[in-house]
Amino acid sequence: MKLCAIVGLTALAASLIALPVWAEAGGKATGKAGAPARRPDPSLAPIQDVAGLPRVLLIGDSISMGYTLPVRELLKGKANVHRIPTNGGPTLRGLESLKRWLGDGKWDVIHFNWGLHDLRLDDAGKYQVPLDEYAKNLKELVKQLKATGAKLVWCSTTPVPEKCTPPRKNADVIAYNAAAKKIMDENGIALDDLYAFALPKIKELQLPDNVHFGPEGSAELAKAVVASLQPALAK
């Protein structure tokens, strides 16, 4: 329970507070002049591989940051669970950064998501990444991920509340998830349907008027993520 509390609170803090930009290599923060540097979220810290265990890479936004540490704990001794060293943001960031995130090492399983930032609305009601562009970007990202030879698991975007800031609509979550599922089905990629998992108990797992999850919520998502990874790890 202590681990869950630490994980949830640190990931939530990283998501709700405007953090400075973190240099992905070196872990140093650049903030306002004279302001003390903030420590990076512990979920973003690199890990050392245990020899002989499969290598798993988690790609996603702050929701995935919340479940990274409990997933790693649940798979301790079974897999080396890495994650990208930043918030994965929208598909636009993925296109810019995926090759660097993948690096030169071999990945056995990659669990990935984009969507929550793509469907975000600005004050004028404009999507950060419209649905058609999202689908186009995701197809290219899937192409790059398949080229790694890793087993792939797509994670659907989790539900959003009626009132949240920045504004998002759950109807858009459903639409973006449907577009993503079509692409995954066409490419034979396994599905971790976190949307369906979280929806029936969303009021228990998710913070009020917030897209993020509390400590217990992130721990529950982690269990679903691990369940989705186990078939790939067993092969």
pLDDT of residue 9 exceeding 90: no
> In the chain, pLDDT over 70 holds for what percent of residues?
84
**What are the angstrom distances between the C-alpha of 223 and each of 1, 128, 133, 166, 219?**
14, 30, 32, 28, 7
Q: Which residue has the higher pLDDT, 132 or 9?
A: 132
Torsion angle of C-alpha atoms 50, 51, 56, 57, degrees rounded to 10: 70
Tokens of 19: 């953090």
Q: Where are the domains of the chain?
A: 2-234
Determine the CATH number of domain 2-234: 3.40.50.1110
- Give the model confidence (pLDDT) of 11-34 as tens digits: 444 443 333 322 333 333 344 556
- Give the model confidence (pLDDT) of 53-99 as tens digits: 999 999 999 999 999 999 999 999 999 999 999 999 999 999 999 99
**What are the angstrom distances between the C-alpha of 159 and each of 20, 46, 212?**
27, 29, 10
Cα(115)–Cα(219) distance, integer angstroms: 21
Cα(200)–Cα(23) distance, integer angstroms: 38
The whole model's pTM is what?
Answer: 0.85
Beta-bridge partner residues of 155: 192
Over residues 149-173, mean pLDDT? 97
